[in-house]
Chain A
Amino acid sequence: MTLFIEQCLNGLQFGLLLFLLAAGLTLVFGIMDLVNLAHGSLYMIGAYFAATFAAWTDSFVLGAVLALLATLVVGMAVEVIAMRRLYGRDHLDHVLGTFGLILFFDEAVRLIWGPEGLSLPLPSWLNTAVTILPGMQYSAYRLSIIVVSLAVAVFLYVLVMRTRIGMLIRAGASNREMVGALGVNIKLLYTLVFGLGAALAGLAGLMQAPILTVQIGMGENILIVAFVITVIGGIGSVRGAFIAALLVGFVDTLGRSYLPDLLRLVLSPNAASTAAPALASMLIYLLMAIVLVVRPEGLFPASAK
């Protein structure tokens, strides 16, 4: 039972982390109608920045804050230099143009930081286990990821639904010409939204960094998972992304830990242990395919434009 609760917490943590990534993606898609494959590169850059800055300042928190700001700046620069020119184009152009950006970022990182990965060591106060239930311990760092991500989710909700900026963002999503005609600087708004999405991706990257190694291509795998989430949730819907991210987080984590046992009930132990990992990796794609076949616009389609 403790193991099950622990796996559920892992699923929650993974899901929330994915939400940070998917939220930026779905915001950019919903508002600018832009398919951004380079989102995973921003995730990678956040992790690289964090590892570098943390080593310079000798402080995990300070390094993380600096990395967040740096990713925000990089994101806004990318928007001004490249993305801005892609708005209103065909989705195929987006796929191709941002695919080019992935190549650029991967290679730029290799040029600057070298081909070997980096590691981001945790400070001792995070690298412990806390007792969350009598007789049950859980990693303090994973717990802090859950807390930070939930705080960001609340912040996003308040920002989008309760502030003037959020009002403009929502208005820009439903009719960009009209918002522009009313005297709102729509270009600046877009740059801010893209920067926000980049910072969220960077945050996800730097929080994941101590768990996995920081390496080139780390963004490519998780990018596809983030896309799966935005599609399941309904493109452009932050609420949908939240629910879909948790769903994917749970399905993936629980699938990986319990599928081998489940398969052993119907298959020989040998066959089960070889089939399970593959099947576990396929689960989320299967989930997405099923969702799309049943609901071709995702679970929570953003209101029709």
Chain B
Amino acid sequence: MSTTLNPRNILVVALLAALVLLPVYAGLTGDRFMLTLFTRIVILALAAVSLNLILGYGGMMSFGHAVYLGIGGYAVGMLAHEGIYTGFVQWPVALAASALFALVIGALSLRTRGVYFIMITLAFAQMAYYGIAGLARYGGDDGLTIYKRSQFFAPIDLSNKVQFYYLCLALLYGSIYLVWRLVNSRFGMVIQGSRSNDLRMRAIGFPTYRYRLVCFVIAGTLCGLSGALIANHTDFVSPAMMYWTRSGDLIIMVVLGGMGSVVGPVIGAVALLVLEEALPSVITFVLHPFMGEKAAGYGEFWQIVLGPLLLLVVLFARGGIDGLLAKLRAKAVP
């Protein structure tokens, strides 16, 4: 991460600062929905940052990353269901369970390569999905309502929306820092070397399997943290949060924002989720001159625009939004 003043870095800093100031804006305008939406964005951005660690830097195309959202979320949900509300138990259990799952999934999956890796991670995620959907005690298919958020010591109250938002944001920034430190360490170099040429790395003498496995577990654990946050945010967990399309959403965030840049996934998460919220109104607005009042009905079909948009990003904007910004810089500096 260079410290030069250029459009891309200015935008990144502006985005990170805007996220910090958002509750102030929401408080001034009284827009409670805005705060709820951005809490969700920040939490999913954390999941995307963790996926980026293995996808962007490690070249491990996991198509089952949402499974840790489910594991982390259900750890909180199940403990709350059994009457254990203290976050000092819930959160460590959520992290440990995610780490354990990632260890098992990674140990088996990392033996395969390419498409086989994509598919085996998907298979494990589906297994967990059906497994949890079969737990009748914890709501099965219908999911599990959480009646009390995780309890911490006195001043911290997760039911306070502003406090909860700042907690999520702090965890997100902490994770970004952690990932940044990781990828620039010797460990991160080995991971990136293994992505470029695994055979060569092994020939030099690095046991890359072990390095990749540790990386996979770190990413899973971070995503499990995001799952614990989601459970507290929505007060509800269901198997749907680990369905394969959710893993697809996470991949979209990472690729849309820009792989292999530490803040790219944050840009992607903000872009995707804001787009999801804004597209209906945009469609209605564009169609209004042609169709009059009927245009409002077509806003709900926003995915018909989002789908081809993703395809266009893949075809014409390699490197995602962050990549486009970097290109802008390349043009600005002759």
Q: Which A residues have a C-beta under 8 Å from some C-beta of B? A: 29, 35, 37, 82, 85-86, 89, 91-93, 95-97, 99-108, 110-111, 220, 224, 227-228, 231, 235, 274-275, 277-279, 281-282, 285-286, 288-289, 292-293, 296-298
Q: Is the CB of A278 within 8 A of B134?
A: yes
Q: Is the CB of A288 within 8 A of B119?
A: yes
List the A side residues contacting B131 at CB < 8 Å: 278, 282
A72, B313: Cα distance in complex, Å: 27
Q: Is the CB of A85 within 8 A of B315?
A: yes
Q: Is the CB of B112 within 8 A of A104?
A: no
Once A102-B307, A278-B131, A296-B113 are accepted as A-B contacts, the answer to whether A95 and B120 lie under 8 Å apart by CB is: no
Judge if B18 is at the interface, Cβ distance under 8 Å: no
A224, B118: Cα distance in complex, Å: 12
Task: Give chain B's interface secondary structure class.
Answer: helix
23 interchain pairs, CB-CB under 8 A = A82-B311, A93-B318, A95-B248, A96-B314, A97-B315, A99-B252, A100-B307, A103-B306, A103-B307, A104-B303, A107-B303, A111-B301, A220-B244, A224-B126, A228-B123, A282-B126, A282-B130, A289-B120, A292-B112, A292-B116, A293-B108, A293-B111, A297-B116
Contact of A275 among B111, B120, B134, B308 (CB under 8 A): B134
Q: Is the CB of A97 within 8 A of B314?
A: yes
Q: Is the CB of A103 within 8 A of B303?
A: yes
List the B side residues contacting A227 at CB < 8 Å: 119, 122
A192, B241: Cα distance in complex, Å: 38
Q: Is the CB of B306 within 8 A of A100?
A: yes
**Shortest beta-carbon contacts, A-B, top 5:** A278-B134, A100-B310, A104-B307, A103-B307, A281-B130
Q: Which B residues have a C-beta under 8 Å from some C-beta of A? A: 55, 61, 63, 108, 111-116, 118-120, 122-124, 126-127, 130-131, 133-136, 244-245, 248, 251-252, 255, 301-304, 306-311, 313-315, 318
Q: Is the CB of B251 within 8 A of A91?
A: no
Q: How far is the CB of A73 from chain B (nearest CB, A)?
A: 19
Extra A-B contacts (17), CB below 8 Å, given A29-B115, A96-B313, A285-B123? A95-B251, A99-B251, A100-B307, A100-B314, A104-B303, A107-B303, A220-B244, A227-B119, A274-B134, A274-B136, A278-B130, A278-B135, A282-B127, A285-B127, A289-B123, A292-B111, A292-B120
A288, B108: Cα distance in complex, Å: 12
List the B side residues contacting A95 at CB < 8 Å: 61, 63, 118, 248, 251
List the A side residues contacting B123 at CB < 8 Å: 228, 285, 288-289, 292
Closest Cβ neighbor of A105 among chain B residues: B307
List the A side residues contacting B313 at CB < 8 Å: 96
Q: How far is the CB of A296 from chain B (nearest CB, A)?
A: 4
List the B side residues contacting A275 at CB < 8 Å: 134
Closest Cβ neighbor of B105 among chain A residues: A289
Q: How far is the CB of B8 from chain A (nearest CB, A)?
A: 22
Contact of B310 among A99, A107, A286, A288 (CB under 8 A): A99
Q: How far is the CB of B21 from chain A (nearest CB, A)?
A: 32
Closest Cβ neighbor of A275 among chain B residues: B134
List the A side residues contacting B122 at CB < 8 Å: 224, 227
List the A side residues contacting B55 at CB < 8 Å: 92
Once A100-B309, A224-B244 are accepted as A-B contacts, the answer to whether A285 and B124 lie under 8 Å apart by CB is: yes
Q: How far is the CB of A222 from chain B (nearest CB, A)?
A: 12
Q: How far is the CB of A158 from chain B (nearest CB, A)?
A: 28
Q: How far is the CB of A281 from chain B (nearest CB, A)?
A: 4
A209, B89: Cα distance in complex, Å: 49
Q: Is the CB of A100 within 8 A of B116?
A: no
Q: How far is the CB of A244 from chain B (nearest CB, A)?
A: 12
Closest Cβ neighbor of A33 among chain B residues: B115
Q: How far is the CB of A108 from chain B (nearest CB, A)?
A: 6
Contact of B311 among A35, A100, A111, A285 (CB under 8 A): A100
Q: Is the CB of B255 within 8 A of A231?
A: no
A143, B207: Cα distance in complex, Å: 54
Q: Is the CB of A107 within 8 A of B304?
A: yes
A25, B134: Cα distance in complex, Å: 30
List the B side residues contacting A100 at CB < 8 Å: 306-311, 314
Q: Is the CB of A91 within 8 A of B304?
A: no
Contact of A106 among B113, B303, B310, B311 (CB under 8 A): B303
List the B side residues contacting A298 at CB < 8 Å: 116
Q: Is the CB of B134 within 8 A of A277?
A: yes
Once A96-B251, A224-B244, A274-B134 are accepted as A-B contacts, the answer to whether A289 and B118 lie under 8 Å apart by CB is: no
A111, B309: Cα distance in complex, Å: 18
Q: How far is the CB of B204 from chain A (nearest CB, A)?
A: 23
Q: Is the CB of B126 within 8 A of A101?
A: no
Q: Is the CB of B118 within 8 A of A35?
A: yes
List the B side residues contacting A297 at CB < 8 Å: 116
A91, B116: Cα distance in complex, Å: 11
Closest Cβ neighbor of B123 among chain A residues: A285
Contact of A285 among B61, B126, B134 (CB under 8 A): B126
List the A side residues contacting B116 at CB < 8 Å: 231, 235, 292, 296-298
Q: Is the CB of A97 within 8 A of B311?
A: yes
List the A side residues contacting B130 at CB < 8 Å: 278, 281-282, 285
Q: How far is the CB of B2 from chain A (nearest CB, A)?
A: 26
A29, B118: Cα distance in complex, Å: 14
A93, B303: Cα distance in complex, Å: 19
A296, B209: Cα distance in complex, Å: 15
A235, B114: Cα distance in complex, Å: 11
A224, B301: Cα distance in complex, Å: 25
Q: Is the CB of A97 within 8 A of B310?
A: yes
Contact of B134 among A85, A103, A235, A281 (CB under 8 A): A281
